[in-house]
Structure 1
Amino acid sequence: MQSIDWIVLSVTLLFIVVYGAWKTRGSKSVEEYIKGGNETKWWTIGLSVMATQASAITFLSTPGQAFHSGMGFVQFYFGLPIAMVIICLVFIPIYHKLNVYTAYEYLEGRFDKKTRTLTAILFLIQRGLAAGITIFAPAIILSAVLGWDLVVLNIVIGILVIVYTVSGGTKAVSVTQKQQMAVIFIGMFIAFYVILQYLPEGITFIKALEIAGANHKMKVLDFSWDLNNRYTVWTGLLGGTFLMLSYFGTDQSQVQRYLSGKSLRESQLGLIFNGLLKVPMQFFILLVGVMVFVFYQFNSAPINFNPKAQEVINKSEYAAAYEKLELQHKEIEEQKKQLVYGELTTDVKTRIQELNKQDTALKEEAKVLLKKADAEVETNDKDYVFIQFILKYLPKGLIGLLLAVILSAAMSSTASELNALASTTAIDLYKRNVTKEYNEKHYVTMSKWFTLAWGILAILVACIANLFDNLIQLVNIIGSIFYGNVLGIFLLAFFANYVKGNAVFIAAIITQIIIIAVWYIDWLPYLWLNALGCGIVILLAFLIESTSRMLFINNQK
């Protein structure tokens, strides 16, 4: 990185932090601190909701996902617009009518205190883990690529977020997320433009799409019912809808974004805005990854993008064998390069596919060698593709901007999570279970201390986390383990007056055990866990309630 990149990166991040802390200083009431004084306009809500979900993982992992697997991942988001409509019609009117601070506050009035507490704790567990991962994700990748100390990066990202989130609460999160989304959109559009400019003369955008299609990167829709396939139209529409309903309807990190709305209509418009823009945004980010793939059809790409993996293998006894694989990989690259320049006939596409299969086999052999060299090294390089391209090929100044995009995304999602974790802890656990009455200032102070505590915990989780198969999948897996159960509890609260608190509480505990077991034995793709968890808790709650009533009637006789 050059001096100009450091200047761009530092100025961008410091402006966001200082502006957020200054603009929202001095919250004196719980309503101001947790609900932002109910002053937020719809476009701020929409951008804040989007920024909360679009973590650094989105901008690191998604292009790499497209580079390796194509555009099919966009199907994961197909359920989002459906979920937004349902939440606008059902969830938001109830929350606004009851004037709740958290989503779980509603559950006590409908069921009982223990059900509210259980649901809040389920949220705190999964979102507390996710907060650590949203810090860890960019930190480990930037550490590997730039050589920065991982622990220091985790601490720096965490402290930057803690400063303005503790200072201004919900309003600070919403205000800063507008600036962060502006940086993100500008950075990604510039990156896309630069990639197209770097393509060889005569390779137009249309030709680039044809090349991507010849390599099976442009297949957006998959209508198969194969349960081994994670991303299909059906997993998106069914599993994705349940996941998005759970996330946007019951996860306090999202609910808090639209509870701060100036009115019911502003909150609904904000979510509709998110529903209309989110799928095209994800499509565009995937398309950036596909264009990076096309770029590497004309430029040499490493057999594995993780620089740490390269470093490990070079120091091992397998260096010569690995180098041989790299040479074969380059030969295949050269053959493909000659093919994609010409007309992409059926025979040419068939030959490209044959070469891709050979190249995939080489990459798998390379992973085996890497594991032999060091069992701990990360061989899956999806998360390193885009950052490596940024650092190697983008011009001075733009590198700093793209790194600011990644860190801004990390800060925006982490800030929302810490804000929601603190609110849930303060309102659903502390305030509800402490018998002594305190004034508003006390609860604002406690909310700030809880924000700081969760921020420190998130940093600790980040410091001990391990890199999984793909970071964006990891966050969704964690959510899917808990979200279906929580969504089922809320659906029972909204629509099943027959079911009471004891039945729901028992059903929720049993369901969570079942879902964790199903995930552990890898019986279903993780997206289906949302629908399964929701269905099981609803079914069990009805069975337990019915059995309880029958036993009561028999005892009365």
Structure 2
Amino acid sequence: MSVAPFVGASFAAADYVVFAFMLAVSAAIGVYYAWTDRALKSSDDFLTGGRRLTALPVSLSLTASFMSAITVLANPAEVYRYGASIVFYGLSYFMSMVVTSEVFLPVFYRLSITSIYEYLELRFSRATRLLGTLLFIVQTILYTGIVIYTPALALNQVTGMDLWSAVISTGVVCTFYCTMGGLKAVVWTDVFQVGVMLAGFLLVIIRCVVLKGGVGLIISDSRQGGRLDIWDFDPKPQKRHTFWTVTFGGTFVWVSIYGINQAQVQRYISCKSITHAKLSLFINLIGLCCILLSSVFAGLCLYSVYKNCDPWTAGIVSAPDQLMPYLVMDILGDYPGLPGLFVAAAYSGSLSTVSSSINALAAVTVEDLIKPHMTVSDKKLSFISKVLSFLYGVLCIGMAGLASLMGGILQATISIFGIIGGPLLGLFSLGIICPFANSKGALSGLVSGLVVSLWVGIGAQIFPPPSYLSRPLSFTTEGCNLTASDSFNRTSTGLPAHMSNIATSPAQPDHDSPIGTIITILVGLFISLVTGGWKRKVDSRLTLVKSDTTVFCIFKALKDRLMTGKPDVAQTKENHGNQNPAFCNIELDYMKCNTPT
């Protein structure tokens, strides 16, 4: 596909310096951890940081990992076009963290596994483990290529930043620090990058507030334009944004990411205690909400600035994901370095997502495809992990190149997370929540869930929902002073030199996810029951037990304190076969959790 930047809307030297500084700091973090951990030779140190990480950096890394550049560009554009209903994602974030911390985290942390797909072999069979691993690898590689390429194209067409220089430089830097520093480098670069992302949003918001004369005018404009009419309880699942689709549809998507996605789980099971792991999830919730609210308000700012001259309707930009970069060049183009900070924020989102994916891909390949079939020393496994990180980084850059050739297929490929993530969520839920589920039920449920999800996903692309269910809110171009010029004059009067046919990725729940999850569980339960799963004895470490839940911990600690004056640790161990499952004491000075030895 041939693309060209808009004439007259280009970076200054200071913008490139700011962007380069972000890349340099990210690379330097990788070098630092490669040097400080040079004496550590095990693959566990490289892939899990030696399981010595603490809650705060892990929480920020969790926030950054799936808040990609697509989020930075697409969420504000979504608010601009459809209103601020996506603010209800905050509820789905909260429910997702509760489910993850209470259901999935205790089991994974108790087992001290590196790859979560090892759980599938312990609980079901090796075939289930291999199928889950392969699905994750396909899902992640496809998504990563899109995450690198899509924002690069949008930014290239509006800022004039060279497309492939940006793609390759970010891909190379990301691969470099992943290969050099392992999980610690990934976590601490994520900490830096989430700060850059928030700074980029705040930069745009503050400038818009100054231009418009206050927050009140932006809110007033948004209310008059219908952008704050968020209370839509329409039960139609095909409708783009309602309370139900965003809140409950979003919960399924985010549980599939935080609960059973290797990239996220690998971080919190690398914490030094289960208390730190649970805290990391809830501190991460604060970060998620900060980015969500920033992106929503940025979308309201976008509408307030262009309420009388919609750049998209007027043909000034060719795709919705170019609206935010256009706004940045429009209101900040006269301040060298500031557009560069926003672009650095967008690419920080890409770096954090890609680095998490590379590290997770290396982990599952080592743990699921190499260690079970080869006898290799730990030192050699560490070297293999680094080589795999490098190879997966190169592959992800290659996938970005392939994404440039996809054209209209790109939009369909975004749904890969729902098509694969939903059934995988159902599979893990089946194992953890249902003690009588067996391997026959698990495989049957997973295959059934995949088939139904694929059928629904393909059907949604071939037969999209009626246009009235996803119609954007009203726009106007009455305030535009359109000219035939092909350059921007900073008052939204330009026309693009070339137009892109790539649309923004939808910032909405994928409806395939709950369908795939539900089908997998229902079929898995039925097949397990008819094949005698209820007769099978399952190790209690592999399923959820009541002492895993925070509510039980609190009431147990209160009961022990009232009756004996101290927590009954011995009884807790005895109740679970001396496996010492996670338990908590209500008092702060005793609040800690233990894992099995």
TM bucket normalised to smaller: 0.7 to 0.9
CA contact (8 A) 2:179 2:386 kept: yes
Report the alpha carbon displacement of residue 264 of structure 1 after superposing the two structures with TM. Answer: 0.5
SS at match of 1:79: helix
- Structure 1, unpaired ranges of 5+: 310-380, 553-557
Report the alpha carbon displacement of residue 139 of structure 1 after superposing the two structures with TM. Answer: 1.6
Q: Give the letter aligned to residue 454 of structure 2.
A: I
Change (3 A) 1:236 1:292: closer
Report the alpha carbon displacement of residue 68 of structure 1 after superposing the two structures with TM. Answer: 1.4
Report the alpha carbon displacement of residue 192 of structure 1 after superposing the two structures with TM. Answer: 0.6
Aligned twin of 1:527: 510
- Structure 2 residue corresponding to 1:293, chosen from 293, 303, 325: 303
Q: Give the letter aligned to residue 283 of structure 2.
A: F
Aligned twin of 2:528: 545
Write out per-residue CA displacement over residues 143-195 of structure 1, whole angstroms, 9 at most, x where no aligned residue. Answer: 22244443343222211100000111111100111111111222221221011
SS at match of 1:78: helix
- Structure 2, unpaired ranges of 5+: 1-10, 466-508, 536-597
- Map 1:68-467 to 2 at 5 A: 68-199=81-212, 203-297=213-307, 301=311, 303-304=313-314, 309=318, 381-394=319-332, 395-432=335-372, 434=373, 436-466=374-404
Report the alpha carbon displacement of residue 528 of structure 1 after superposing the two structures with TM. Answer: 2.8
Number of equivalenced pairs? 473
Q: Give the letter aligned to residue 429 of structure 1.
A: L
CA contact (8 A) 1:61 1:470 kept: no
CA distance in 2, matches of 1:298, 1:237: 32
Aligned twin of 1:323: none
Q: Give the letter aligned to residue 149 of structure 2.
A: F
CA contact (8 A) 1:108 1:115 kept: yes
- Structure 2 residue corresponding to 1:54, chosen from 67, 84, 91: 67
Aligned twin of 1:504: 442
Write out per-residue CA displacement over residues 505-543 of structure 1, whole angstroms, 9 at most, x where no aligned residue. Answer: 132123212210111111798633222111111111122
CA distance in 2, matches of 1:305, 1:111: 55
CA contact (8 A) 2:69 2:147 kept: yes
Q: Give the letter aligned to residue 134 of structure 1.
A: V
Q: Which moved more, 1:233-242 or 1:85-94?
A: 233-242
Aligned twin of 2:24: 14
Q: Give the letter aligned to residue 214 of structure 2.
A: T
CA distance in 1, matches of 2:382, 2:312: 52
CA contact (8 A) 1:383 1:470 kept: no
Write out per-residue CA displacement over residues 311-347 of structure 1, whole angstroms, 9 at most, x where no aligned residue. Answer: xxxxxxxxxxxxxxxxxxxxxxxxxxxxxxxxxxxxx
CA contact (8 A) 1:489 1:537 kept: yes
Write out per-residue CA displacement over residues 461-510 of structure 1, whole angstroms, 9 at most, x where no aligned residue. Answer: 11121577898x87862211111101111111112221211221132123
CA contact (8 A) 2:86 2:246 kept: no
Change (3 A) 1:222 1:470: farther
Q: Give the letter aligned to residue 408 of structure 1.
A: S
Q: Give the letter aligned to residue 49 of structure 1.
A: L
Q: Which moved more, 1:512-521 or 1:2-11?
A: 2-11
CA contact (8 A) 2:203 2:342 kept: no
Report the alpha carbon displacement of residue 12 of structure 1 after superposing the two structures with TM. Answer: 2.3
CA distance in 1, matches of 2:347, 2:24: 11
SS at match of 2:531: helix
CA distance in 1, matches of 2:436, 2:210: 62
Report the alpha carbon displacement of residue 417 of structure 1 after superposing the two structures with TM. Answer: 0.7
SS at match of 2:277: helix
CA contact (8 A) 2:84 2:230 kept: yes
Q: Give the letter aligned to residue 349 of structure 2.
A: A
SS at match of 2:415: helix
Change (3 A) 1:124 1:449: same
CA distance in 2, matches of 1:82, 1:160: 35
RMSD (CA atoms) = 2.3
CA distance in 2, matches of 1:148, 1:292: 22
CA contact (8 A) 2:207 2:331 kept: no
CA contact (8 A) 1:56 1:406 kept: yes
SS at match of 2:231: coil
- Structure 1 residue corresponding to 2:453, chosen from 515, 528, 535: 515
Q: Which moved more, 1:34-43 or 1:277-286?
A: 277-286
CA contact (8 A) 1:81 1:276 kept: no
CA contact (8 A) 1:56 1:407 kept: yes
TM-score by length of 1: 0.80
Task: Indicate the structure whose relative CO is greater, using CA pairs within 8 Å and at least 6 residues apart.
Answer: 1
Report the alpha carbon displacement of residue 269 of structure 1 after superposing the two structures with TM. Answer: 0.4
TM-score by length of 2: 0.75
CA contact (8 A) 2:362 2:385 kept: yes
Q: Give the letter aligned to residue 180 of structure 1.
A: Q
Report the alpha carbon displacement of residue 74 of structure 1 after superposing the two structures with TM. Answer: 2.6
Compare the two structures and name the one with the higher helix fraction. 1
CA distance in 1, matches of 2:14, 2:161: 18
Change (3 A) 1:31 1:524: farther
CA contact (8 A) 1:66 1:73 kept: yes
CA contact (8 A) 1:183 1:404 kept: yes
Q: Give the letter aligned to residue 542 of structure 1.
A: L
CA distance in 1, matches of 2:197, 2:511: 31
CA distance in 2, matches of 1:213, 1:251: 38
Change (3 A) 1:306 1:255: farther
Aligned twin of 2:506: none
Change (3 A) 1:7 1:183: same
